[in-house]
Chains A and B, each alone.
Chain A
Amino acid sequence: DSGVTQTPKHLITATGQRVTLRCSPRSGDLSVYWYQQSLDQGLQFLIQYYNGEERAKGNILERFSAQQFPDLHSELNLSSLELGDSALYFCASSPRLAGENTGELFFGEGSRLTVL
């Protein structure tokens, strides 16, 4: 158990709909990362938050947005869903950005989104 909790584990929805994926990082971790993994492919970095602020953006579509709340949990919002958005969405957390940090990312078990 990595200590990172993602909900829901599975989600099936229709095209055009909107969903919200939730991530609770490990206790004390300030940084949250979101990744998308399509079937049998690598991890595509979407976005990173650090202590409530957006830190880095990757290949995140405009239809997607995210935020990190004061209690450090994060939500990834996916709207106007398309078939191609079907994927496993991972959240990961790490303690700090730099300095005394092992750099390891602690991954949740992922949220599997299926768009029909």
Chain B
Amino acid sequence: AQTVTQSQPEMSVQEAETVTLSCTYDTSENNYYLFWYKQPPSRQMILVIRQEAYKQQNATENRFSVNFQKAAKSFSLKISDSQLGDTAMYFCAFMNLSFNTNAGKSTFGDGTTLTVKP
């Protein structure tokens, strides 16, 4: 079974500063993707960034970057130059893409509520 753990229920950061959200996961699969989704107060789920497990290079998307440590099964999200619009709940998620009976299974963490303060 795969699990995703976000150990920080709530975090806050001052505008323009940097914050890191933690995520650890557990799986026996070899081919998978990891994601960070953002859920602002509108409740829409928005993809922030994705990481293929077979790629060693950490993914980046503008102000968002990840620190992917495959051996440690760690996948943290760093938000640089935080903006008020980054205030949201952030979910770490896992998707199994191995060719087996678990193909397509997706697991989400419990979320971290991030507040960006002016």
Contacts and interface: CB of A to CB of B under 8 A. Distances in A.
Interface of A: 31, 33, 35, 37, 40-43, 45, 48, 50, 55-56, 88, 90, 92, 94, 96-99, 101-105, 107, 109-110
Interface of B: 31-33, 35, 43-45, 47, 50, 91, 93, 95-99, 102-111, 113
Contacts of A50: 104
Contact of B97 (A33, A55, A90, A103): A103
A99 B104 contact: no
- The 10 closest A-B CB pairs, nearest first, are A103-B33, A97-B104, A107-B45, A103-B95, A42-B110, A97-B103, A98-B103, A43-B108, A98-B97, A42-B111
A45 B106 contact: yes
B108 A45 contact: yes
B91 A104 contact: no
17 contacts: A33-B106, A41-B110, A43-B108, A90-B45, A92-B45, A94-B104, A97-B97, A98-B97, A98-B98, A99-B99, A102-B33, A102-B50, A103-B95, A104-B35, A107-B44, A109-B43, A110-B43
B105 A56 contact: yes
Contacts of A56: 102, 104-105
Contacts of A41: 110-111
A92 B99 CA distance: 21
Contacts of A37: 43
Nearest to B46: A107
B109 A55 contact: no
Contact of A42 (B47, B50, B109): B109
B106 A105 contact: yes
Given A102-B33, A104-B33, A110-B43, 16 more contacts: A35-B108, A41-B110, A41-B111, A42-B91, A45-B107, A48-B104, A50-B104, A56-B105, A92-B45, A96-B104, A98-B96, A99-B97, A101-B97, A103-B35, A105-B47, A107-B45
